[in-house]
Amino acid sequence: MVAHPAQILVLLVLGLATSAILGAAIYLFYLANRPHPAMVVRTKRDANDPTATGEVVVYPRPPRQKALLMGLALVMLLWVFAGRHLVQAFYPATHEPQNLPAATLGKVRGASGADLTVAHYGPAGAPTLVLTHGWGADRHDWDYVISAFKDRFHIVVWDLPGLGESSRARDYSMQTLASDLDSVVSSIKDRPVVLVGHSIGGILNIEYARRFPEKMGRDVRALVQVNTTFTNPVETKKGAEFSRKLQKPVYEPLLHVVTWVSPVARAFGWFAYQSGLAHLQLAKQSFAGAETWDQLDEMASYAYRSSTGVVAQGVLGMLHWDGSDVLTKIRVPTLIISGDEDVTTLPSASDRMERDIPSSVRVAVSRAAHLGPVEQYARYADAIASFMTKPSSGLVGE
Count of C-beta atoms within a 10 Å radius of residue 30 = 11
What total number of domains does the chain contain? 2
Can you tell me the distance from the alpha carbon of 70 to that of 173, in angstroms, rounded to the nearest whole number?
A: 50
Rg (CA), the chain: 27
Q: Are 302 and 210 found together in one domain?
A: yes
Q: Are 301 and 216 found together in one domain?
A: yes
Higher pLDDT pick, 394 / 330: 330
Cross-strand pairs, 130? 156, 195
Q: Are 278 and 146 found together in one domain?
A: yes
Handedness of CA 191, 206, 365, 121 (dihedral sign): positive
Q: Are 34 and 140 found together in one domain?
A: no
According to the model, what pLDDT value does residue 350 have?
97
Q: Are 53 and 131 found together in one domain?
A: no
Q: Are 214 and 289 found together in one domain?
A: yes
How far lies 346's CA from each of 239, 288, 293, 352, in Å?
10, 14, 25, 11
Q: Are 335 and 371 found together in one domain?
A: yes
Q: What is the mean pLDDT of the chain?
A: 90
According to the model, what pLDDT value does residue 33 have?
84
**Among candidate residues 88, 111, 141, the one where a domain is terminated:** 88
Can you tell me the distance from the alpha carbon of 214 to that of 325, in angstroms, rounded to the nearest whole number?
A: 17
Q: Is residue 94 part of a domain?
A: no
Q: Are 172 and 82 found together in one domain?
A: no
Q: Is residue 121 part of a domain?
A: yes
**Among candidate residues 38, 53, 88, the one where a domain is terminated:** 88
| pLDDT band for position 5 (cuts 50, 70, 90) | confident
Mean pLDDT over 220-243 rounds to 95
46 touches 52 (CB < 8 A): yes
Range of the structural domain that residue 47 is part of: 17-88
**Among candidate residues 49, 64, 88, the one where a domain is terminated:** 88
Instruction: Quote the strand ranges of 199-294, DSSP E.
Output: 220-226
According to the model, what pLDDT value does residue 1 have?
61
Q: Is residue 398 part of a domain?
A: no
* Cα angle for residues 374, 226, 13 (degrees, 5° grid): 60
Q: Is residue 95 part of a domain?
A: no
Can you tell me the distance from the alpha carbon of 97 to that of 100, in angstroms, rounded to the nearest whole number?
A: 9
Give the range among 3-12, 224-233, 263-272, 346-355 with minimum mean pLDDT. 3-12
Q: Is residue 93 part of a domain?
A: no
Mean pLDDT over 191-198 rounds to 96
Can you tell me the distance from the alpha carbon of 235 to that of 233, in angstroms, rounded to the nearest whole number?
A: 5
Q: Is residue 278 part of a domain?
A: yes
Q: Are 207 and 307 found together in one domain?
A: yes
Q: What are the pLDDT digits (tens) for 31-85?
A: 888 766 555 555 555 556 555 555 555 556 678 888 999 999 999 999 999 999 9
Give the range among 97-101, 361-365, 366-370 with minimum mean pLDDT. 97-101
Q: What is the CATH number of the domain that holds 211?
A: 3.40.50.1820
pTM over 0.75: yes
Q: What are the pLDDT digits (tens) for 90-102?
A: 988 776 666 788 8
Question: Has residue 388 got a pLDDT over 80?
Answer: yes
Can you tell me the distance from the alpha carbon of 286 to that of 279, in angstroms, rounded to the nearest whole number?
A: 10
